[in-house]
């Protein structure tokens, strides 16, 4: 018996390709996005930004789920997702 | 189909006065994520943003009214609720939201809080509880946990604090919840629910204040306080508000505690009007 089939809504539910945008003018280096990202996509770089705050960087956006947690958690509204497949409606 | 040519921005930017951002809040301050949850909740609740008005008092949390691009008013210290009451009774169509701090809503404005809940005025109160008066340098207030250190309790606080959900539930609020800013999705959902619910809704939001509270209580960075929320939080929807007292290092019970129906002040006023104007 075949116990596994492809979910019918796999196309709808599959993670959409995203790019992560970090706004260097807004980020204050609190590190929340890097700490709580479930996939380890973001990391504190150990360098300072031009404003003197710790800088966060994208290690591997291929691993990103597009869950949006980093975007929701950022106290500075300073990180957000850009959907690569966005098309004009 | 063509690709979008517009510049990408943060989806909540449409609700922010972006010319004032970066805001003044410290790195890791919990007020920012709470504000984001509120802004996304407006869309989640499918409200018309033109019919949402935000009222704040004074404090770091009180500055929210100034950063949000909705009709908003920054009142004097402690008086957000009376202002919001007038706004709601003058224009009952508005969805009135009070967004302010623990000091503003519970200390100087504490009397307004219990009476707004008692009268069941249809509004949503989002109270950022960072356990102290952040803006003025970290003095203790009526929400500071026992033994917590602050600018005015350098050896530890010996005054019993309020248990806010218990206080507002006993005063008559019809919706009472508590979340931390780590519970982003739950908080957003809860705010959306409160926004659409008639009656007095109160949401206590615990958020880090690393600069003046955390640093005196072995939580020097926002991250330390977030981790402590992660370790200490227990979700218990429907918990009896009298059992959800907070302490310095004990468990943090979060969840939706009260969700009941009761006629609002406006309903009672309409009923009375009907009765006395009947021929
Ligand atoms: C009538 C009056 N009394 C005192 C103050 C000083 N004051 C400004 S903000 C504040 C406390 C704010 O605490 P809270 O509401 O918890 O906000 P937070 O800064 O912690 O977010 C006080 C006492 C004032 N501005 N007006
Ligand atoms: S969207 Fe989710 S997976 Fe992607 S970087 Fe942000 S938190 Fe990590
Ligand atoms: S959460 Fe925001 S402010 Fe904090 S490090 Fe990430 S991008 Fe910067
Ligand atoms: S003093 Fe505290 S509450 Fe005020 S902005 Fe700084 S961290 Fe936030
Ligand atoms: Mg406070």
Closest CA to ligand 3's atom 6:
A33
Q: How far is CA B229 from the centre of its chain?
A: 17
Length of chain A: 89
Question: CB distance B2–A72 less than 8 Å?
Answer: no
End-to-end CA distance of chain A: 43
Do residues B92 and B76 make contact, with C-beta atoms less than 8 angstroms apart?
A: no
**Angle, to 10 degrees, between the axis of helix B31-44 and the axis of helix B184-196?**
50
d(CA B70, CA B88): 16
- B88-116 pLDDT per residue, tens: 999 999 999 999 999 999 999 999 999 99
Nearest CA owner, ligand 2 atom 7: A37
Q: Alpha-carbon distance B194 to B45, whole Å?
A: 9
For residue B9, which residues of chain A lie inside 8 Å, CB to CB? 80
Contact B222 A69 (CB under 8 A): no
Q: Which value does ipTM take for this structure?
A: 0.91
Distance CA A80, CA B13 (A): 11
Q: What is the pLDDT along chain A (89 residues), one digit of tens a residue?
A: 677 888 788 777 777 778 899 999 999 999 999 999 999 999 999 999 999 999 999 998 889 999 999 999 999 999 999 887 655 44
User: What is d(CA B268, CA B177) in angstroms, rounded to the nearest whole number?
Assistant: 25
Domains by residue range for chain B, with CATH: 13-277 (3.40.50.970)
- pLDDT lower than 50: segments of chain B: 1-5
Domains of chain A: 28-83 (3.30.70.20)
pTM, full prediction: 0.94
Q: Taking a C-beta distance cutoff of 8 angstroms, is the pair B74, B80 a contact?
A: no
How many helices, marked H, and strands, marked E, lie in chain A?
3, 4
DSSP assignment letter at A15: P
Q: Ligand 4 centre from B171 Cα, in Å?
A: 29
Please provide the size of chain B in residues.
279
Distance CA B269, CA B197 (A): 19
What b/e readout covers B79-103, taking b as 16+ CB neighbours within 10 angstroms?
bbbbbbbebbeeeeebbbbbbbbbb
Write the Ramachandran bin of B124: left for phi over 0, alpha for psi from -120 to 50, otherwise beta.
beta
CB B139 within 8 A of CB B152: yes
Going by C-beta distance under 8 Å and a sequence separation of 6 or more, which residues neighbour residue B240? Answer: B257
Residue B112's pLDDT is what? 98
Report the gap between the CA of A73 and the closest CA in chain B (Å).
5
Chain B interface, Cβ < 8 Å to A:
1-4, 8-13, 16, 21-23, 25-33, 36-37, 40, 181-182, 184-185, 188, 221-223, 226
Q: Are B171 and B118 in contact (CB under 8 A)?
A: yes
| Chain A residue closest in CA terms to B41 | A72
Q: Give the residue carrying structure tokens 């019809």.
A: B174
Helix or strand run (H / E) with residue A66: none
């Amino acid at each position: 018996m075949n116990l596994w089939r492809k979910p019918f809504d796999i196309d709808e539910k599959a993670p959409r390709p995203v790019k992560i945008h970090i706004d260097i003018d807004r980020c204050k280096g609190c590190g929340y996005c890097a700490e709580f990202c479930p996939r380890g996509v973001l990391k504190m770089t150990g360098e300072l930004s031009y404003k003197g705050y710790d800088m966060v960087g994208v290690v591997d956006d291929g691993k990103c789920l597009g869950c949006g947690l980093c975007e929701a958690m950022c106290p500075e509204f300073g990180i957000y997702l850009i959907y690569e497949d966005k098309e004009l409606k | 189909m063509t690709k979008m040519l517009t510049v990408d921005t943060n989806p909540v930017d449409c609700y922010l006065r972006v010319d004032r951002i970066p805001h003044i809040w410290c790195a890791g301050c919990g007020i920012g994520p709470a504000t984001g949850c509120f802004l996304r909740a407006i869309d989640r609740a499918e409200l018309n943003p033109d019919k949402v008005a935000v009222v704040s008092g004074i404090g770091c949390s009180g500055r929210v009214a100034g950063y949000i691009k909705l009709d908003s008013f920054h009142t004097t210290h402690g008086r957000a609720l009376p202002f919001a009451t007038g706004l709601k009774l003058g224009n009952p169509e508005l969805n009135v939201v009070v967004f302010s701090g623990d000091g503003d809503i519970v200390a100087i404005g504490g009397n307004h809080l219990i009476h707004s809940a008692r009268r069941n005025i249809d509004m949503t109160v989002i109270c950022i509880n960072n356990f102290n008066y952040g803006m003025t340098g970290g003095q203790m207030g009526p929400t500071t946990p026992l033994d917590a250190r602050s600018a005015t309790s350098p050896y530890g606080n010996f005054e019993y604090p309020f248990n806010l959900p218990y206080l507002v539930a006993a005063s008559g609020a019809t919706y009472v919840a508590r979340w931390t800013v780590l519970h982003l999705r739950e908080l957003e959902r809860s705010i959306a629910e409160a926004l659409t619910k008639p009656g007095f809704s109160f949401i206590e939001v615990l958020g880090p204040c690393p600069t003046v509270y955390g640093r005196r209580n072995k939580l020097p960075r926002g991250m330390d306080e977030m981790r402590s929320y992660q370790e200490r939080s227990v979700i218990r929807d429907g918990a009896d508000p009298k059992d959800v007292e907070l302490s310095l290092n004990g468990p943090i019970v979060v969840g939706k505690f009260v969700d009941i129906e009761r006629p609002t002040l406006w309903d009672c006023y309409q009923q009375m009007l009907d009765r006395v104007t009947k021929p």
